[in-house]
């Protein structure tokens, strides 16, 4: 069922801070209409949560695998979970 709502929690590793990754992720999430948040982590990684229809969440995750032009993504670790009812998308 394509309308199935899902939640994906992703950790992005590589050169992902200081390259406008959070802002571009917010822009992409808003374009796709998914909810959640994105934050830089103390260890240099970036964390993001997306909630919405599975196809849209998968597109958001696809974006994380590439990122903005100056990013260098080494890997994305994703954990799927039941949605928690996130609304809107925010930078943390």
Residues designated as active site: 22, 40
**Cα gap 66→43, rounded to integer Å:** 20
Q: Can you give the three-state secondary structure of 39-72, one letter per residue?
A: EECCCCCEEEEEEEEHHHHHHHHHHHHHCCCCCE
**DSSP H or E run through 5:** strand 5-15
DSSP 8-state code for residue 13:
E
Residues across the chain: 92
């Amino acid at each position: 069922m394509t309308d199935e709502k899902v939640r994906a929690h992703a950790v992005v590793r590589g050169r992902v801070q200081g390259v406008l990754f959070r802002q571009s992720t917010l822009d992409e999430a808003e374009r796709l209409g998914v909810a959640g948040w994105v934050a830089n982590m103390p260890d240099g990684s970036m964390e993001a949560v997306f909630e919405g229809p599975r196809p849209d969440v998968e597109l958001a995750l696809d974006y994380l695998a590439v990122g903005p032009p100056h990013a260098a993504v080494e890997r994305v670790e994703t954990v799927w979970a039941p949605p928690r009812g996130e609304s809107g998308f925010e930078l943390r």
